[in-house]
Structure 1
Amino acid sequence: MAVNLDIFKTQYLQHDVSAQIGRLVENLTQIKAVAQAGTEEKLAQDLIRESQFFVEWIVSSLNLDTNLDLASELVELQRQLSRWKLHWSKLWLSSGDRLQIARCSQEWSDRLFKSHMR
């Protein structure tokens, strides 16, 4: 079933930034779980892509005068997600790389939760 991104984006952006970050944190937690298990590769890829959308949408809606630190953090996360996406076929085959993805996902989840969930 195809998702209409415009509708999905509109629904996502109806929430405040804390809720948007919360949704991103949930995705990172799910990425961690599937990477640790080494199962559901397609789900992991979909979660990474969805997280990229979330980051893009959050950053584009931020007031950079008051949220520059958050925007910078999210751009850094976007780079990490893009690296995973670019090298996915190699990373998923290695249990060590999957565990690194899991650890990194947890670190990002914790970081965003602690600093931006209100």
Structure 2
Amino acid sequence: MNTATLDRDRFVQNNITTQLNYLATHLEQMRSLILINADLEVINLMRESRYYIEWIVPQLVGINVEVSAELVDFGRVLTRWLYDWEKLRANINSRCEVAQIAAGFCDRIREISSMA
């Protein structure tokens, strides 16, 4: 059993609101760390956030398909950022844009969690 499986077991024991709040917290941290060039931490938060989305969506799809699709789309954005991180991190404007988008997703996820 790997660490992700252990974390998943604990994570999915929480209610959907708590899970969404964990994801939002990751995005807040990611936004802050992007702006101070803490690349390793940012990459780890992006990866963990993708896991969170993967674990949240199956539970959320029965409640709200549209919101589930939003989360899946955001997971794709995270994957693109991870793939392009070397280019993104080298350009301050790109870093700021990623931080701004992460903040917007964080706000949206907080909004979703308040409705869950």
CA distance in 2, matches of 1:5, 1:66: 25
The answer to whether residue 84 in structure 2 is matched with residue 87 in structure 1 is yes
Query: Are 1:32 and 1:105, in contact at CA under 8 Å, matched by a contact in 2?
Result: yes
1:13-35 Cα shifts (integer Å, max 9, x gaps): 00000000000000000110011
4+ aligned runs moved over 2 Å, structure 1: 115-118
CA distance in 2, matches of 1:88, 1:102: 13
Corresponding pairs, count: 114
Deviation at 1:6, TM superposition (A): 1.1
Match of 1:11 in 2: 10
Match of 2:52 in 1: 54
CA distance in 1, matches of 2:5, 2:62: 27
Match of 1:102 in 2: 99
Query: Are 1:21 and 1:117, in contact at CA under 8 Å, matched by a contact in 2?
Result: no
Match of 1:45 in 2: 43
Task: Please report the TM-score for the alignment, with normalisation by the length of structure 2.
Answer: 0.92
Choose 20-29 or 53-62, whichever is displaced more: 53-62
CA distance in 2, matches of 1:65, 1:5: 24
Overall identity of the aligned pairs, in %: 25
Q: CA RMSD in A?
A: 1.3
Deviation at 1:61, TM superposition (A): 2.8
Mark the runs of 5 or more structure 1 residues left unpaired by the alignment. none
Mark the runs of 5 or more structure 2 residues left unpaired by the alignment. none
